[in-house]
Amino acid sequence: MKKRTLTLLEIMIVIFLITLITGAIGYNMRGTLDRGRVFRTEQAKEQLRDLLLICLAENPDAEAIAKKPVYYLKKTGLAKDPENLIKDGWKKEFSIKATKDKSDFDIRSEALDAYKKKKGILDETSDEE
Domain ranges of the chain: 10-119
Global pTM exceeds 0.85: no
Could you report the per-residue pLDDT of 102-113, keeping only the tens digit for each? Answer: 999 999 999 999
Could you report the per-residue pLDDT of 53-108, keeping only the tens digit for each? Answer: 999 999 889 999 999 999 999 998 888 899 999 999 999 999 999 999 999 999 99
- Residue 23 CA to residue 119 CA, distance in Å, equals 22
Provide the 3-class DSSP secondary structure of residue 17.
helix
- Residue 128 CA to residue 121 CA, distance in Å, equals 16
Long-range (24+ apart) CB contacts under 8 A made by 115-119 are: 115/34, 115/37, 115/38, 116/38
Q: Which residue has the higher pLDDT, 26 or 12?
A: 12
Provide the 3-class DSSP secondary structure of residue 111.
helix
- In the chain, alpha helices (H): 8-58, 62-67, 69-76, 82-85, 110-119
